[in-house]
Amino acid sequence: MSSILTNNSAMVALQTLKSINGDLQKTQSAISTGKDIASAKDNSAIWAISKVMESDVAGFKAVSESLSLGESTVAVASAGAEQITNLLNEMKEKVVAATGENVDHAKITADVDELKNQITSIISASQFNGSNLLNTAGGDITITSSLDRSSGGVAQASITVASVDFEANLDLSTVDVSSAANADASLDDIETLIQAAVDGAAALGASAKRISDQNEFVSKVSDAMKSGIGALVDADMEEASAKLQALQTQQQLGVQALSIANQAPQTILSLFR
């Protein structure tokens, strides 16, 4: 039955064309934004997951900055500790030389005093951004190292680097080379100082390695999370391009089908001629 009041074919063609236009709009949006899921209405569950992961990525960026700052602080202290160890070894040579009776103890004392002053200067100068792990005032430093997410929420993890406090642990006043007897008595003292410096430098080196490894790990985790977010929300551009071509063809056919359906009632006029 044909009717001039109700055109079922046109209604079907119109609904089909609307559906095609909707899919075409979504595909064009995916191509222009690069995302299949650009807002919550596209897929609320996946969108929510991606936003939580994006917040974690932002958090890990801050963690990486904290680790980089901590790594630089420890690196400066470690360099200072290693230099102090070298100076103490040089001082030991002076002490050994001063154990002889036929040497100029006054000149050796002057050399040792200069080495002591240099060590004191290095201890004071081995600071980064106001943090010094070689003196008493600096104290330990705590570095944010990770964000641990669990069902209960997010917890912050940290790495604590202990101060080696050379200012208190290296008593340079015990080294005396003013005479052969005093130099001989100072041999054990200089060995103790060297061992303390070596232990301190080794501890700082171990901490620096741990921080460096953690920073590398955080960087890899952040990259993996970015990749995961992309897999969830990014558009497959090859697929979107092929789909766009198909939808444009369907749109043209839909327009033609609607045009044909709209012309159908006019054929009824021929029955009245």
153 CB contacts (<8 Å, ≥6 apart)? none
Note the pLDDT of residue 38: 86
- The span from the first CA to the last CA of the chain, in angstroms, equals 19
Mean pLDDT per 10-residue segment, the chain (273 residues): 78 91 88 87 90 92 95 96 97 94 93 96 94 93 90 85 94 94 94 96 96 95 94 90 91 90 79 73
112 CB contacts (<8 Å, ≥6 apart)? 91, 94, 95, 98, 175, 177
> Which residue, 205, 208, 260, 227, is CA-closest to 81?
205
Note the pLDDT of residue 93: 96
Q: Read out DSSP for 56-123?
A: HHHHHHHHHHHHHHHHHHHHHHHHHHHHHHHHHHHHHHHHHHHTSSSS-HHHHHHHHHHHHHHHHHHH
61-234 under CATH 3.50.50.60, yes or no? no
| Extents of the domains making up the chain | 1-34+235-273, 61-234
Note the pLDDT of residue 263: 82
Note the pLDDT of residue 27: 87
